[in-house]
Amino acid sequence: MKNNAMSEQKFLPFALPDIGEDEINEVVAALRSGWVTTGPKTRQFETDFAEFIGGGVEAIAVNSATAGLHLALEAIGVKAGDEVIVPSYTFTATAEVVRYLGADPVFVDVDPATFNISPAAIRAAITDKTRAIMPVHFAGLACEMDEILAIAREHGLKVVEDAAHALPTTYKGKLIGTLDSDVTVFSFYANKTMTTGEGGMVVSRNKDLIARCKVMRLHGISRDAFDRYVSKTPAWFYEVIEPGFKYNMPDTAAAMGIHQLKKIRRFREHREAMAARFDRELADLPLILPARPAHAGDHHAWHLYPVRIKPEAGISRDDFIVRMAEKGIGCSVHFIPLHRHPVWRDGYQLTPAQFPVADAAFEAEVTLPLYTRMTDDDQTRVIAAVREILGA
């Protein structure tokens, strides 16, 4: 009877965006203004975001974090024949942007507790072709950036942080985005800690890098289109100085971001509370729970709540996901490591034996739903389902 009642409940998806009337009204205002592409709301969002991050950064809004990573690598001078060190345990965007420039991603293993890129593995992968390191703050937990930055300084390498999961994450009391890396890129995809539907933000203190990203963001044009279109005197002339890209964020997306950003600290507090509850109520199960920040007082963004199923659970990860779906609860897997995907596996002759930590993590990992629109009852339902499936 209990199982039937649970199966009749509404399906609880893995993630949902948390969008309110403020965002809706701001988008409507953008539509009514006539500025539906990059314009005043994008400018406001960039200004607000830079102020939120602090540390003297400038911010450039783009139409995806993938676009932002591509712009960042281009701006730091990555070119054909170069190598960029990336973790295998990440989404394909981290590596694909390296190939956009004709360079090669060099895949390395991750830390067994955090799933973040291993500094020791970075050091072992450096060659005379290495130009940059791209750490990924997995699930919203900061990488050990002091070690990574020290390695970069020692070898004269650039650091581009893939912070798609990491808003607002801190490392030793500093927000990700304010460290001594060259560029940091955030994501506002629909399931991230805040959303603009599609979108991202590039931040840096380096004015030359920001200027380059700004030009390359919109076809390599030397002047901002917004400035030309609002000028009260003839301002039609522009020059294309590079073969750029089409990566600008429209005002309709930025309008959402303006209000999502105002809620981000509240969103983080909600996610932290939910993660703490999962920790408490799943602690006695045959699971490895997510790592927490290594440094006192730091914040995890809790974009994801990834657990690993221990062998003694008596159920495979795949079967666990099926059982959760039967109970009307969506789960996911983060990630299928890049060394398992044909494009990277075959193109770079990669094998699971080269990435024992990432491969073992993948075999056992499942990501439970955690998002700010979840109610206490929703979370109770997830916990009850996990406990029933694992025989508690």
For the chain, give every domain's residue range.
2-16+264-389, 21-262
For residues 67-80, b (16+ Cβ closer than 10 Å) or e, as one string?
A: bbbbbbbbbbebee
Contacts of 112 (CB under 8 A, 6+ apart): 357, 360, 361
pLDDT at 391: 86
pLDDT at 235: 72
- 62 vs 234: CA distance, rounded Å: 27
Which residues are part of the catalytic machinery? 192
- Look up the pTM and report it: 0.96
- 379 vs 292: CA distance, rounded Å: 20
Question: Considering the domain 21-262, what is its CATH architecture?
Answer: 3-Layer(aba) Sandwich (3.40)
Q: For the chain, first and last CA: distance in Å? A: 18
**Is the previous residue joined to 335 through a cis bond, with omega within 30 degrees of 0?**
yes
- 250 vs 99: CA distance, rounded Å: 26
Distances 153 to 127, 156, 159, 195, 351 between C-alpha atoms, Å: 15, 5, 9, 34, 30
- Residues in the chain, pLDDT under 50: 1-2, 4-7
Task: Specify the pairing of strand 183-187 against strand 200-204.
Answer: antiparallel
Question: Considering the domain 2-16+264-389, what is its CATH architecture?
Answer: Alpha-Beta Complex (3.90)
The yes-or-no answer to whether 2-16+264-389 and 21-262 have a common fold is: no
Contact status, residue 217 vs residue 247, Cβ threshold 8 Å = yes
Q: What is the DSSP string of 161-187?
A: EEETT-TT-EETTEETTSSSSSEEEEE
- 185 vs 98: CA distance, rounded Å: 14
Distances 43 to 40, 54, 69, 231, 236 between C-alpha atoms, Å: 5, 16, 20, 16, 21
pLDDT at 69: 99
What tokens appear for 331 in the block?
Answer: 């789960």
Q: What is the DSSP string of 229-295?
A: HH-SS------B-S---B-BPPHHHHHHHHHHHHTHHHHHHHHHHHHHHHHHHHTTSSEEPPP--SS
283 conformational bin, left if phi > 0, alpha if psi -120 to 50, beta if neither: alpha
Q: How many CB atoms lie within 10 A of CB 63?
A: 22
The sign of the CA dihedral 270, 115, 76, 74 is: negative
Contacts of 215 (CB under 8 A, 6+ apart): 221, 222, 241, 242, 244
Q: What is the DSSP string of 350-378?
A: --GGG-HHHHHHHHHEEEEP--TT--HHH
pLDDT at 205: 98
